[in-house]
A and B are shown apart, each in its own frame.
Chain A
Amino acid sequence: MGWIAWLLGMALLGPGTYRPVNAPDEPPTAVAAFLIDRAPVTNAEFARFVAAHPVWARGAVPVLFADEAYLSTPGEADAPVTHISWYAARAYCQARSERLPSEAEWELALAASAPFDRRRDPTWQEWVRDFSATMAPADGRVANLEGTCGAGAGAKDPSEYAAYMRIAFRSSLEARFTTGNLGFRCAMDVPR
């Protein structure tokens, strides 16, 4: 299975568990084995998708599914595509018969990525399927975070600090938003 994943440009990861740093009291989420792209989707790859599915072109996409900045910064062919909405990212992965990774899968993949551990990079973000699950729990832990950035400052090590920042960022998103530091990659279940 591992070598098939390699040929697909994907990594085989899991099973494992994930618990957000801001929810230490919740039971961890179980994550089944999954496949995930080794690298974010590039400008060239997304341009090919748009050519085949013109409804996702800048100017053609319904405003319900992308904001004004959608695809506003054409970058280098091999660079990760940014200014992309959640709907567009989802449609891209669907066209490949894949899906967006869950937050838990994405965080596990981040932890496994070597040699550069991107958990320590608080500025790069990627869409996850369930970003809208990141919301203020009843006791307001994430709400506090979003308002002040204070909880991140209290983190003991830089990887935990960056994880706080990602949670704050995700909870501030809406699916049609696009930004210059937000890309995506696709994932899939391990075929049985």
Chain B
Amino acid sequence: MKMKKLIILLFVACQRVSAPPPPRAAVGTGDSIYALDLPGLDAYRGHPVIISMFYGRCPSACPMLVSTIQWIEDRIPAKTRDDLRVLLVSFDAEHDTPAALDEMAARHEIDRARWRLTSLPEDDARALANVLGIHYRRIGDQFQHDVVVTLLDADGRIVTSARGTHDALDVISRKLAP
């Protein structure tokens, strides 16, 4: 009897888990990520923005992320680049203090006139990550996370996004320099 009940429960639960997800948000439907009202995030409102998330102590993926965005900038016309801004947001506010981010910017020769490195507390970081489609989780001292690079228009709407640095270089630079 107990077994039978469990099997029924399993069936019901699997139905729910495997139900088809509702359609995704259409891109360019007038929705701005600035509507999240996250602190410091709309500093570049009015400019197209490349936005991504990272953490500073990351050994491999994050240095690659910075290089990739720099390569994108090398590929696009100077006029487009001058208008473009870059926003890199850390989900590790505990370690990525303003001083630590300054140090990181210097190490990667980041153009601080057009790039902004910042961190958000957990609640806000989760909201931004959800909008950008980034999953992350803390495992001990490190984070496991997706690398997603997103291009926003001047109003903060998602123009396009790419998963992984390889696709990002291709997709974002083609969008900026057609």
Contact = CB atoms under 8 A, between A and B. Distances in A.
Contacts of B25: 63-64, 176
Contacts of A130: 122, 126, 137
A68 B144 contact: no
A86 B144 CA distance: 22
B144 A149 contact: no
A26 B16 contact: no
B37 to A, nearest CB: 10
Main secondary structure of the interface of A (DSSP, over half): loop
A64 B33 contact: yes
Contact of A165 (B13, B23, B126, B129): B13
A137 B145 CA distance: 10
Given A26-B139, A62-B35, A137-B144, A168 B17 contact: yes
A9 to B, nearest CB: 21
Interface string B107-129: 00000000000000011001101
A181 interface: yes
Contact of A153 (B10, B22, B134): B10
Task: Identify which of A94, A165, A177 gathers the most chain B CB atoms within 10 Å of its CB.
Answer: A165
Nearest to A145: B17
Interface of B: 6, 9-10, 12-14, 16-19, 21-26, 29-33, 35-36, 122-123, 126-127, 129-131, 133-140, 144
Given A123-B12, A135-B135, 9 more contacts: A63-B26, A69-B22, A123-B13, A158-B6, A161-B6, A165-B17, A168-B17, A174-B130, A175-B131
25 contacts: A62-B32, A63-B29, A63-B31, A65-B31, A67-B22, A86-B130, A90-B127, A123-B12, A129-B126, A130-B122, A132-B129, A132-B130, A132-B136, A134-B137, A135-B137, A135-B144, A146-B17, A149-B10, A158-B6, A161-B6, A161-B9, A165-B17, A168-B17, A172-B17, A179-B19
